[in-house]
Amino acid sequence: MNTQTMAVDEPRVVGGIQKTRPIEEIKSVVIRFVGDSGDGMQLTGNEFSKSVARAGHDFATHPDYPSEIRAPTGTLFGVSGYQIQFSSGEVFTSGDAPDVLVAMNPAALKTNLPDVKHGGMIIANAGAFNKANLQKAGYQSNPLDDGTLTDFRLYTIDISELTAQALKDTGISKKEIGRCKNYYALGLMLCLYSRPLESEEGNIRAKFAKKPEIAEANVIALRAGYAYAESTEMFVSTYQVRAADIKPGRYRSLTGNHAAALGFAAASELAQVPLFLGSYPITPATDILQELSALKHFNITTFQAEDEIAGICSAIGAAYGGVLGLTTTSGPGMALKTEALGLAVMLELPLVITNVQRGGPSTGLPTKVEQSDLLQAVYGRNGECPIPVIAARSPADCFDCAIEAFRIAVKYMTPVIFLSDGGIGNAAEPWRIPDPARLSPLAVKFRTDPEGFQPYARDENLARAWVRPGTPGMEHRVGGLEKNFLTGNISHDPINHERMVDVRAAKVAGIAKDIPPLMVEGPGSGDLLIVGWGSTYGSIVQAREKAALAGKSVAHVHLRHLNPLPHDLGDIMSRYKTVLVPELNLGQLSKLLRERYLRDVIVMSKMQGKMFKVSEIHDRILELC
Amino acid sequence: MNQMTEIKPLTRKDFESDQDVRWCPGCGDYALLAQVQKLLPTLGIPREHFAFISGIGCSSRFPYYMETYGMHSIHGRAPAIASGLKLARPELSVWVVSGDGDSLAIGGNHFIHAMRRNIGLKIILLNNRIYGLTKGQYSPTSEFGKKTKTTPLGSIDRPFSPVSVALGAGATFVARTVDSDHPHLLDTLRRAAEHPGTAFVEVLQNCIVFNDGAYNALADKETRDDARLLLRDGQPMRFGKDGTKGIRMRGFEPEVVTVGEGGVTEADLAVHDESAANGGLAFFLSQFAAPLPVPLGVFRAVEAPVYEQLSTGLADDARAKRGQGTLEKLFNSGDTWTID
């Protein structure tokens, strides 16, 4: 906890006795809720994040859950967690180490304790620390009373029992009572951080509108948790985080996947062209399909295809039909789509392929973050098969990238790969709601004039014309076989093939002219430049700022466009003695940079299914300058 | 275009593209091309509203020869591409031309799901029971024991019946015809064109180079009447040169009988019913093997909700309920808060 604190004495009446308890003001705090995958930890975290959002904090979240739907209770591999950092300043990550760990059982404590900040607070659901659960978690003795946790501020509360007591008169079943304990925990935390209960109660009632008795039980559990924290004075002090100094405007909280879905809907509206999503459910990309499926009152068609290949193929068919074709997937699904990607390159049709990357290879780590599909995106197809690649840096940035992907696709008549990842796809942050009227329209033109029409004739961007079937006089055939440079008819002519390979490459390379100059954070030249891409943005920003405060000559440039690379990147890199590339892979961007600029860069790799901690990057900066 | 010009009715010529047709001389693909080009001008659909989508294989060159919109795509994926096109543009007449390998091997998944959904596609499968383009390997419809380049000791794969697969996947229109009988081919295609949902037509087709004579018995004027059973809706199943042979059902076992022999009358024969609520009879027919004749014609034609219409219906309902979506509303939905 960032404890630039200011003690405030607040007189209150508890049990007829006038008491004062300090409210400490803190700048930022990191809380992690952990429990069994059935304990409702994602819900608790989500609700807490809504509460801090309403209070005007900046925040970032990190849901972390196992790939089993519901692992056996109490097991180490069944632990589900949700971390949130909120602050009165700008927040870029969900935080390195929790200040507070809310552990609902021994397994949750065991798996998460190594992450907790030294001296941090642990709130443990004592009721769950029974013999069976301790055994399942591999504890020989109870860590709550054997001295294991002496370095922490430990609060043991029998959340299970207290919840049961609070709800004993509600008439709901024992099982249902058991499911209310997450709201008890939320109540505790809302008290600890001086958050009001009322809005949360409203949320509960709205959420469980169809089951009023469950809503009531959850409200009681929430209040009970709050009251317990307040009346027992279990916390020495409570905390207040000031509202963040954020740009004025209207905000909402969005995950990366949700933001991408809104971006795609916006692209369709801005282009005045319907959107077609052909997709197959796969973690962590499924949410985009779900979100867009709920938007049928827009000009959006969603198609849950029989497999990944049908997902992209249906989108290609739709693109041929003259609508915005989209497919969404994750790593292994991307592998299945590659043949069809090659077809889309030959057809020169606009198409967006979203890959919410996860740990690989193969099924890998389905619920964990990784950035290891970059080389696949840039190179992973048969033949010389160039495709533009862009990547989002944060949840809210997925909105802009979704639009950008279609902007490139329709302008250049090309498939575009949009890389997101599990680190931002599921994570939430505040999104400043834009005024739709101020978003620039997407220029789409369909050719309708048959006069002199040649299917593969190109404009100044080397893009061919988009023709909707149904347009009279322009009937033509496209296909995966090499085409004649102008007519698009099959051609095996050697010179024509080379010319087509060259022109497809030149078309994609030419997109660089649209990339705005890179923003360099920090000195314009100096000791160290960090080149980052994708979801590592937050950790890099914070690490760099920290190092800069300590007087280090370190700058940061973050890439949205990975193929083609921005034209000014080489020049920027040449102005620093050392270039560091942190990536959640074995150095894939590093390879691209070395190949392209013939300059060595330092690889900083992490392959743990986790985001970089700010401290990890900060430490590396200190080693290098 | 001169506005005064009278719109001329389309002819077969209007559907011939400027590309040289390159199939082996004698290939059954020519027959299909000719009959399709003959059929389309009669359907009352503007030429620019047709799209032909194919996968990979000899037959998949088909779109190049049609003066319509078209796509020669990738192996087995034509139904998926065509589904996207039809969903995006329900007003188009979308046709899939495919082969036995394309549809039933690499594309088997897309094939069955197109049938299941009942998307308004016309799917033609040219079945020559061999891989032609890759020069003579056995296919999913090759007979058990078939010797080919990859089965020198005889195939140990049991063959698919495309009609059975389509019926099993819930197809609402399933028919079979043969390349050598042009009028039957044309009739069958017309029925398919008129069917609102997925229409599946298997065309038994000769491959003169790698599987010549596979359907000789059906093609030869001398033998064909005894070798094939022409299905006629509501009619007893009669066949044979003089029409005296017929199919009688003994419980679940079909048998060949001769009307007028052994006390068998026409009333004993099974009656074809292409729109039977239960598709059991159609499935029996799809499994016919020697000594039973090969059934040709429409096995099944039933009405069922059409996928693209359901899809547009969902969108219409959503709009009726929520109004046409606007970005303003969408962006500002959910929990929002204001920072001053």
Cβ–Cβ contact A29 with B under 8 A? no
pLDDT of A14 reads: 41
Residue A487 has pLDDT above 60, yes or no: yes
Does residue B211 sit in helix, strand or coil? strand
- Kindly state whether residue B326 falls inside one of the protein's structural domains: no
Residue A10 has pLDDT above 50, yes or no: no
Burial zone of B40 (CB within 10 Å; 0-12 exposed, 13-18 middle, 19+ buried): buried
Q: Do B75 and B169 sit in the same domain of this protein? A: yes
**Among candidates B284, B95, B288, which has minimal Cα distance to B192?**
B95
Task: Name chain B contacts of A277, Cβ cutoff 8 Å.
Answer: none
Q: Which of A475, A481, A483 to mutate to test the interface with B (most CBs of B within 10 A)?
A: A475
Give the mean pLDDT of B154-169: 96
Query: Buried (b) or exposed (e) across B104-117, using 16+ Cβ within 10 A?
Result: bbbbbbbbbbbbeb
Q: Do B104 and B248 sit in the same domain of this protein? A: no
Per the CB < 8 Å rule, is B322 touching A297? yes
pLDDT of A231 reads: 81
As a whole number of angstroms, the distance between CA A579 and CA A569 comes to 12
- Split at pLDDT 50, 70, 90, the class of A309 is very high
Residue A2 has pLDDT above 60, yes or no: no
- Kindly state whether residue B110 falls inside one of the protein's structural domains: yes
In this prediction the ipTM stands at 0.96
Per the CB < 8 Å rule, is B339 touching A476? no
Nearest CA in chain B to A478: B71
Per-residue tokens: B218 = 């059906």
The beta strands (E) that lie in A584-621 are given as 602-605
- Kindly state whether residue B329 falls inside one of the protein's structural domains: no
- Kindly state whether residue B319 falls inside one of the protein's structural domains: no
Give the mean pLDDT of A201-224: 91
Q: Do B201 and B253 sit in the same domain of this protein? A: no
Choose the closest CB to A296 out of B19, B70, B314.
B314
Interhelix angle for A331-347 vs A308-320, to 10°? 30
As a whole number of angstroms, the distance between CA B92 and CA B46 comes to 10
- A302: β partners: A277
- Split at pLDDT 50, 70, 90, the class of A21 is low
* Residues 104-123 (B) with a CB less than 8 A from some CB of A: 109-110, 113
- Split at pLDDT 50, 70, 90, the class of B13 is very high
Nearest CA in chain B to A200: B335
Q: Do B244 and B214 sit in the same domain of this protein? A: no
Smallest CA–CA distance, residue B276 to chain A, in Å, is: 28
Residue A193 has pLDDT above 80, yes or no: yes
- The dihedral sign for the CA sequence B217, B220, B226, B228: positive
Nearest CA in chain B to A278: B84
Per the CB < 8 Å rule, is B84 touching A303? yes
Choose the closest CB to A53 out of B321, B331, B337.
B337
Choose the closest CB to A470 out of B49, B84, B338.
B49
pLDDT of A3 reads: 43
The beta strands (E) that lie in A104-178 are given as 121-125, 153-157
Per-residue tokens: A59 = 């925040």
pLDDT of A19 reads: 46
Separation of first and last alpha carbons in chain A: 28
**Among candidates A25, A31, A431, which has minimal Cα distance to A246?**
A431
Give the mean pLDDT of A339-344: 98
Residue B236 has pLDDT above 50, yes or no: yes
Cβ–Cβ contact A242 with B under 8 A? no
pLDDT of A1 reads: 47
**Among candidates A52, A202, A213, A13, which has minimal Cα distance to B339?**
A52
- Kindly state whether residue B181 falls inside one of the protein's structural domains: yes
- Split at pLDDT 50, 70, 90, the class of B4 is low
- Split at pLDDT 50, 70, 90, the class of A233 is confident
Q: Which of B16, B65, B71, B119 to mutate to test the interface with A (most CBs of A within 10 A)?
A: B71
Look at residues B249, B271, B293 and tell me which one is the last residue of a structural domain. Answer: B271
Cβ–Cβ contact A441 with B under 8 A? no
Choose the closest CB to B68 out of A316, A473, A475.
A475
Q: Is A617:A540 a contact under the CB 8 Å cutoff?
A: yes
The beta strands (E) that lie in A288-378 are given as 300-304, 324-329, 351-357
Nearest CA in chain A to B336: A252
Nearest CA in chain B to A50: B335
Q: Do B215 and B119 sit in the same domain of this protein? A: yes
Separation of first and last alpha carbons in chain B: 60
- Kindly state whether residue B6 falls inside one of the protein's structural domains: no
Residue A389 has pLDDT above 60, yes or no: yes
pLDDT of A15 reads: 42
Q: Do B152 and B95 sit in the same domain of this protein? A: yes
Smallest CA–CA distance, residue B13 to chain A, in Å, is: 14
pLDDT of A195 reads: 82
As a whole number of angstroms, the distance between CA B185 and CA B214 comes to 18
As a whole number of angstroms, the distance between CA A226 and CA A166 comes to 12
The set of residues, in sequence order, having a beta carbon less than 8 Å from that of A617 and lying 6+ positions away, is: A530, A539, A540, A543, A544, A582, A604
Choose the closest CB to B92 out of A53, A325, A470.
A470
Cβ–Cβ contact B337 with A under 8 A? yes
pLDDT of A240 reads: 82
Q: Do B115 and B158 sit in the same domain of this protein? A: yes
pTM value is 0.91
Nearest CA in chain A to B327: A436
Give the mean pLDDT of A294-309: 98
Sort residue B299 into left (φ over 0), alpha (ψ -120 to 50) or beta. alpha
SS3 labels along A496-536: HHHHHHHHHHHHHHHHHHHCCCCCEECCCCEEEEEEEEHHH
Smallest CA–CA distance, residue A296 to chain B, in Å, is: 5
As a whole number of angstroms, the distance between CA B107 and CA A476 comes to 25
pLDDT of A401 reads: 98
Choose the closest CB to B82 out of A265, A317, A340.
A317
- Split at pLDDT 50, 70, 90, the class of B5 is low
- Split at pLDDT 50, 70, 90, the class of A609 is very high
Q: For residue A200, report the phi and psi dihedrals to the nearest 5 degrees.
A: -65, -40
Determine how many CB atoms are found less than 10 A away from the CB of residue B141: 26
State percent of chain B over pLDDT 70. Answer: 98
Does residue A18 sit in helix, strand or coil? strand
pLDDT of A20 reads: 53
As a whole number of angstroms, the distance between CA A616 and CA A543 comes to 8
Q: What is the pLDDT of residues A576-599, one digit of tens each?
A: 999 999 999 999 999 999 999 999
Per the CB < 8 Å rule, is A250 touching B73? no
pLDDT of A8 reads: 42
Q: For residue A34, report the phi and psi dihedrals to the nearest 5 degrees.
A: -135, 145
Cβ–Cβ contact A307 with B under 8 A? yes
pLDDT of A380 reads: 96
Average model confidence (pLDDT) for chain A?
92
Smallest CA–CA distance, residue B306 to chain A, in Å, is: 14
Q: Do B248 and B299 sit in the same domain of this protein? A: no
Burial zone of A600 (CB within 10 Å; 0-12 exposed, 13-18 middle, 19+ buried): exposed
Radius of gyration of chain B (CA): 23
Per the CB < 8 Å rule, is A252 touching B335? yes
Per the CB < 8 Å rule, is B110 touching A489? no
pLDDT of B101 reads: 94
pLDDT of A308 reads: 98
Cβ–Cβ contact B310 with A under 8 A? no
Task: Name chain B contacts of A314, Cβ cutoff 8 Å.
Answer: 80-81, 83-84, 87
Q: Is A357:A332 a contact under the CB 8 Å cutoff?
A: no
Q: What is the pLDDT of residues A65-109, one digit of tens each?
A: 887 777 788 888 888 999 999 888 888 899 999 999 999 999 999
Q: Do B226 and B281 sit in the same domain of this protein? A: yes
Task: Name chain B contacts of A202, Cβ cutoff 8 Å.
Answer: none
Q: Which CATH number covers residue B74? A: 3.40.50.970
Per the CB < 8 Å rule, is A321 touching B84? yes
- Using CA atoms, how far residue B284 sits from A393, A432, B108, B234, B235, in Å, is 59, 63, 22, 16, 16
Q: Do B35 and B163 sit in the same domain of this protein? A: yes
Q: Is A326:A288 a contact under the CB 8 Å cutoff?
A: no
pLDDT of B168 reads: 96
Determine how many CB atoms are found less than 10 A away from the CB of residue B210: 21
Q: For residue A448, report the phi and psi dihedrals to the nearest 5 degrees.
A: -125, -5
Determine how many CB atoms are found less than 10 A away from the CB of residue A290: 15
Weakest mean pLDDT among A68-72, A600-604, B246-250: A68-72
Q: What is the pLDDT of residues A39-76, one digit of tens each?
A: 888 888 888 888 888 878 889 999 888 877 777 888 88
- Using CA atoms, how far residue B89 sits from A318, A338, A435, B83, B116, in Å, is 8, 25, 31, 10, 20
Q: Which of A270, A313, A453, A481 to mutate to test the interface with B (most CBs of B within 10 A)?
A: A313
* Residues 339-358 (A) with a CB less than 8 A from some CB of B: 339-340, 342-343, 347
Burial zone of B127 (CB within 10 Å; 0-12 exposed, 13-18 middle, 19+ buried): buried
Q: Which helix (H) or strand (E) holds A87?
A: strand A79-87
Q: Do B210 and B256 sit in the same domain of this protein? A: no
Cβ–Cβ contact A233 with B under 8 A? no
As a whole number of angstroms, the distance between CA A63 and CA B66 comes to 54
Average model confidence (pLDDT) for chain B?
94
Q: What is the pLDDT of residues A257-291, one digit of tens each?
A: 999 999 999 999 999 999 999 999 999 999 999 99
- Split at pLDDT 50, 70, 90, the class of A18 is very low
- Kindly state whether residue B241 falls inside one of the protein's structural domains: yes
The number of domains in chain B is 2
The beta strands (E) that lie in B83-223 are given as 93-99, 121-127, 173-178, 199-204
Cβ–Cβ contact B334 with A under 8 A? yes
Task: Name chain B contacts of A342, Cβ cutoff 8 Å.
Answer: 74
Determine how many CB atoms are found less than 10 A away from the CB of residue A521: 15
The gap from C-alpha B220 to its chain's centroid, in whole angstroms, comes to 23
Interhelix angle for A198-207 vs A212-231, to 10°? 160
Cβ–Cβ contact A315 with B under 8 A? yes
As a whole number of angstroms, the distance between CA A582 and CA A571 comes to 20
As a whole number of angstroms, the distance between CA A83 and CA A588 comes to 28
Task: Name chain A contacts of B336, Cβ cutoff 8 Å.
Answer: 250-252, 433
DSSP A234-251: -SSSEEEEPPP---SEEE
Choose the closest CB to A278 out of B84, B317, B337.
B84
Counting DSSP H helices and E strands in chain B, the numbers are 11, 12
CA angle A478, A480, A485 (to 5 degrees): 65
pLDDT of B6 reads: 62
Q: What is the pLDDT of residues A545-568, one digit of tens each?
A: 999 999 999 999 999 999 999 999
**Among candidates A451, A395, A331, which has minimal Cα distance to A49?**
A395
**Among candidates A69, A129, A130, which has minimal Cα distance to A104?**
A129
Q: What is the pLDDT of residues A118-128, one digit of tens each?
A: 889 999 999 99
Q: How many CB contacts within 8 angstroms connect chain A with chain B?
A: 205
pLDDT of A5 reads: 41
Residue A442 has pLDDT above 70, yes or no: yes
Q: Which helix (H) or strand (E) holds A620?
A: helix A614-624
As a whole number of angstroms, the distance between CA B52 and CA B32 comes to 13
State percent of chain A over pLDDT 70. Answer: 96
Q: How big is chain A, counted in residues? A: 625
Smallest CA–CA distance, residue A50 to chain B, in Å, is: 8
- Kindly state whether residue B77 falls inside one of the protein's structural domains: yes
Give the mean pLDDT of B10-22: 93
State percent of chain A over pLDDT 90. Answer: 76
pLDDT of A171 reads: 86
Per the CB < 8 Å rule, is A265 touching B67? no
Q: What is the pLDDT of residues A110-120, one digit of tens each?
A: 999 999 998 89
Strands laid side by side in the A100-103 sheet: A58-64, A79-87, A28-36, A100-103, A121-125, A153-157
**What range defines the domain where residue B245 resides?**
236-271
Nearest CA in chain A to B54: A479
As a whole number of angstroms, the distance between CA B99 and CA B264 comes to 41
**Among candidates A387, A352, A391, which has minimal Cα distance to A264?**
A352
pLDDT of A196 reads: 82
Q: What is the pLDDT of residues B305-321, one digit of tens each?
A: 999 999 999 999 999 99
Task: Name chain B contacts of A56, Cβ cutoff 8 Å.
Answer: 337, 339
* Residues 31-90 (B) with a CB less than 8 A from some CB of A: 46-49, 51, 53, 63-64, 66-74, 77, 80-89
pLDDT of A72 reads: 80
Choose the closest CB to B335 out of A53, A317, A480.
A53
Q: For residue B98, report the phi and psi dihedrals to the nearest 5 degrees.
A: -150, 175
Task: Name chain A contacts of B326, Cβ cutoff 8 Å.
Answer: 269, 436
Q: Do B182 and B261 sit in the same domain of this protein? A: no
